[in-house]
Amino acid sequence: MNYSPKTVFLFFLSCIVLIFNYGLVTTAASNVGLNYGLLGDNLPPPSNVINLYKSIGITKVRIFDPNTEVLNALRGHRDIKVTVGVRDQDLAPLAASEDAVKAWFATNIEPYLSDVNIAFITVGNEVIPGPIGPQVLPVMTSLTNLVKSRNLPISISTVVSMANLGQSYPPSAGMFTSQAREQLTPVLKFLSQTSTPILVNIYPYFPYATDPVNIHLDYAISKSKAVVVQDGPLGYSNMFDAMFDAFLWAMEKEGVKGLPMVVSETGWPSAGNGDMTTPLIAATYNGNFVKHVDSGKGTPKRPSSRVDGFLFATFNENQKPPGTEQNFGLYNPVDMKPIYKLF
């Protein structure tokens, strides 16, 4: 069969269009999620942000409160699993009344169930240990009962920090503070009943910035290939794994074994603290976290359980405290250009 030069040209042109459209837009999805913070006065519209997530293959997003604009922008994007936070200031009234929890759910979650993939609701952000820590478990219990009664595939948990550990070195010495034992252990035992993950914020940057003389940068940013910390039979070449496992050991000392753990936040600032915070260092740490998650490998204590987690954060947020806090973003909010290449 003969084809005219024009037909051949049009065929190749159509191939180029297909390659362009699908090669650029379709990105291999990463298992890493992103935190979507809103503490800035120059942030792009949520619909643009969702388009950004789609373009870089992000399928998990965490928001800190049930923001209407963001949740509306997520409508129809059921390939993105969303973690929604209950605001800390809402805990007291919710802890006092199951009816208040039902009303909160009806207002903030119910309207989106048909076309937003809400996978997690987190009750409070780093409020355990602390004065409002005891309010977490009652709200978690009420929300868990509510989603169970509706047969909804939504997990209920809370987000805690490494401040719960009174000791973390070596990892096997990991132990909770007395206040964490009082407030967190009942939460962990409640989560254990359904094997629902506890969400933990893990930032090697902070211990490194506190003691850069004794903590080597390569160990902190997961660049070291050699074992730096030997803890009995377990060897650690990076601080992230050591911090993760210290939390596991602390849970085990409270009789909680095998509970899944999700990293709700980790990251490294690209500016704000001299030569400890450069785009190159931030790109190295965050890039190594992405590799860790996407490799499917676990930590020395749980080698067969893949690490699951979220990077902090999508954008630099200019309404956060000045310094490093404003520089954890992967993208500049004004033009949405990457501060360094990651995805």
Residues marked active site are found at 126, 265
CA nearest neighbour of 145 among 190, 113, 186, 115: 190
Strands (E), the chain: 33-36, 60-63, 81-86, 117-125, 155-161, 165-167, 175-176, 198-201, 229-231, 234-236, 261-266, 309-311
Q: Which contiguous run of DSSP H or E holds residue 70?
A: helix 68-73
Using a 10 angstrom Cβ sphere, with 0-12 exposed, 13-18 middle and 19 or more buried, the burial of residue 341 is exposed
CA nearest neighbour of 285 among 295, 274, 276, 298: 276
> Cα separations (Å) of 183 from 4, 127, 180?
77, 10, 5
Distance of alpha carbon 26 from alpha carbon 19, whole angstroms: 10
The overall longest dimension of the chain from CA atoms, in Å, is 83
Sign of CA dihedral 88, 90, 95, 99: negative
CA nearest neighbour of 239 among 251, 223, 252: 223
> β-pairing, 175-176 with 309-311?
unpaired
Tell me which DSSP letter residue 58 carries: B
Both tokens assigned to 334: 């004004």
Distance separating the N- and C-terminal Cα atoms of the chain: 45
